[in-house]
């Protein structure tokens, strides 16, 4: 049988086509997870199982979970017997010896309070009993302005007394209170990350409320983190690329009351004693979760212009704001890592 040129070429090409067929894509390893709650919010720890290392990763996730719970018990202001609760119980009467860990964190907080010009202040809890944000609709009421002015004078990190020799902390006034809620979540996630890395989890994601810490590869652009629309929180209006670092998102939409058509929320400006007004929301990136945590509060209170020198003191920190006027502003470094999907929804201030 004689083959024509077209048939011959087809037969020669057939084996080449067969060899060029793509192999089935290799399935990604399953993700191992630990979930729970700490500091009044949801905790999620995730890492992909890597074959023979799966058992090690499981152990690392469990150790990280227990570490976050331990720090919660140690630093919570509402847990009886915690270091912070004992400091507050002895306010105005005695200094309290605490663990070296708590003492070092309080000392660091006082340094950060100074760096922020006092807008991040761990004595903010002195005013916490004045403000409640869980009232039934129509039942919310503002605190007495005179009481706000009186207690505002007690919000002053410079009044906290540290005894290095005894690792003791004292609040000089009986009505002063210490609160580490503005930094404890970030501290806990950094501690958890150390255990995950040490336990063989080279890729992971740790989330505690509005705070996220990621490590390892997740596509060419990093881990995508959605930025909620402050006036439509179920909608994401932007996405931020997170690479080996932390992201904190803070907004006036999480817990709030409306009084006279005005929104009041739990982020109190120590300079006024009232909820901060410069921002509707802020998203901060930083290499460490501790820095993302406290910077989120400071940047929210200060707004874009006044926060710039504070951000500049933390290497690698970037921020995006939705201002009180619903404008979107961001640092130059953040512009390279954000994808905007539209404008945030406008609405009541």
> Residue 283 belongs to what domain range?
210-349
| Average of per-residue pLDDT across 284-305 | 97
Residue 273: inside a domain, yes or no? yes
- Helix crossing, 289-311 with 100-115: angle to 10°? 20
232 and 100 part of one domain? no
Residue 243: inside a domain, yes or no? yes
| Average of per-residue pLDDT across 233-260 | 92
Give me the percent of the chain exceeding a pLDDT of 90: 75
pLDDT of res. 53: 80
pLDDT of res. 18: 32
168: Cβ contacts below 8 Å, ≥ 6 apart:
95, 96, 97, 98, 103, 162
Backbone angles phi, psi at 264, to 5 degrees: -125, 135
105 and 223 part of one domain? no
Residue 116: inside a domain, yes or no? yes
Residue 6: inside a domain, yes or no? no
Give me the percent of the chain exceeding a pLDDT of 70: 88
CA dist list (Å): 248 to 13, 186, 225, 228, 232: 57, 9, 10, 12, 18
267 and 336 part of one domain? yes
For 309-326, how does the pLDDT look when each residue is reduced to its tens digit (9 = 90+)?
999 999 999 999 999 999
Residue 13: inside a domain, yes or no? no
Is a pLDDT exceeding 50 seen at residue 25? no
Look at the block and give the residue holding tokens 């004693």: 273
For 132-148, how does the pLDDT look when each residue is reduced to its tens digit (9 = 90+)?
776 555 556 789 999 99
348 and 217 part of one domain? yes
Number of domains composing the chain: 3
| Average of per-residue pLDDT across 118-134 | 88
46 and 108 part of one domain? no
67 and 124 part of one domain? no
CA dist list (Å): 256 to 18, 74, 163, 253, 261: 63, 28, 38, 6, 12
Residue 140: inside a domain, yes or no? yes
pLDDT of res. 277: 94
Q: In this predicted model, which residue has the larger pLDDT, 18 or 318?
A: 318
pLDDT of res. 219: 64
184 and 240 part of one domain? no
72 and 153 part of one domain? no
pTM exceeding 0.95: no
Is a pLDDT exceeding 70 seen at residue 2? no
Residue 165: inside a domain, yes or no? yes
CATH for 87: 1.10.3980.10
| Average of per-residue pLDDT across 197-219 | 91
Is a pLDDT exceeding 90 seen at residue 3? no
CATH for 201: 3.10.520.10
For 79-119, how does the pLDDT look when each residue is reduced to its tens digit (9 = 90+)?
999 999 999 999 999 999 999 999 999 999 999 999 999 99
Residue 25: inside a domain, yes or no? no
């Amino acid at each position: 049988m004689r083959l024509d040129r077209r048939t011959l070429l087809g037969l020669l090409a057939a084996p080449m086509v067969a060899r060029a067929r793509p192999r089935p894509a290799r399935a990604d390893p399953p993700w191992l997870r630990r979930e729970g709650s700490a500091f009044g919010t949801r905790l999620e720890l995730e890492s992909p199982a890597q074959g023979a290392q799966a058992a090690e990763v499981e152990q690392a996730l469990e150790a990280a979970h227990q570490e976050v719970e331990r720090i919660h018990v140690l630093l919570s202001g509402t847990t009886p017997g915690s270091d912070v609760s004992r400091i507050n119980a002895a306010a105005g009467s005695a200094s309290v010896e605490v663990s070296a860990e708590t003492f070092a964190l309080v000392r660091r907080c006082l340094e950060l309070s100074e760096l922020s010009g006092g807008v991040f202040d761990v004595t903010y809890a002195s005013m916490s009993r004045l403000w409640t944000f869980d009232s039934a609709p129509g039942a919310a009421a503002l605190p007495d302005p005179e009481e706000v002015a009186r207690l505002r004078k007690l919000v002053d990190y410079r009044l906290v007394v540290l005894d290095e020799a005894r690792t003791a902390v004292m609040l000089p006034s009986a009505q002063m209170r210490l609160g580490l809620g503005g930094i404890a979540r970030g501290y806990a996630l950094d501690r958890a990350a150390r255990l995950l890395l040490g336990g063989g989890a080279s890729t992971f994601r740790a989330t505690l409320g509005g705070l996220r810490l990621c490590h390892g590869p997740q596509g060419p652009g990093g881990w995508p983190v959605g930025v909620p629309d402050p006036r439509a929180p179920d909608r994401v209006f932007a996405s931020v690329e997170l690479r080996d670092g932390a992201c904190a998102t803070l907004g006036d939409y999480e817990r709030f009351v409306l009084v006279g058509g005005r929104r009041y929320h739990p982020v109190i400006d120590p300079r006024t004693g009232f909820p901060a007004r410069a921002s509707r929301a802020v998203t901060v990136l930083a290499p460490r979760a501790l820095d993302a945590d406290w910077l989120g509060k400071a940047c929210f209170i200060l707004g874009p212009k006044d926060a710039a020198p504070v951000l500049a003191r933390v290497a690698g920190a970037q921020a995006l704001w939705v201002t009180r006027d619903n404008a979107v502003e961001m640092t130059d470094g953040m512009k390279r890592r954000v994808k905007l999907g539209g404008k945030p929804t406008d609405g009541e201030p």
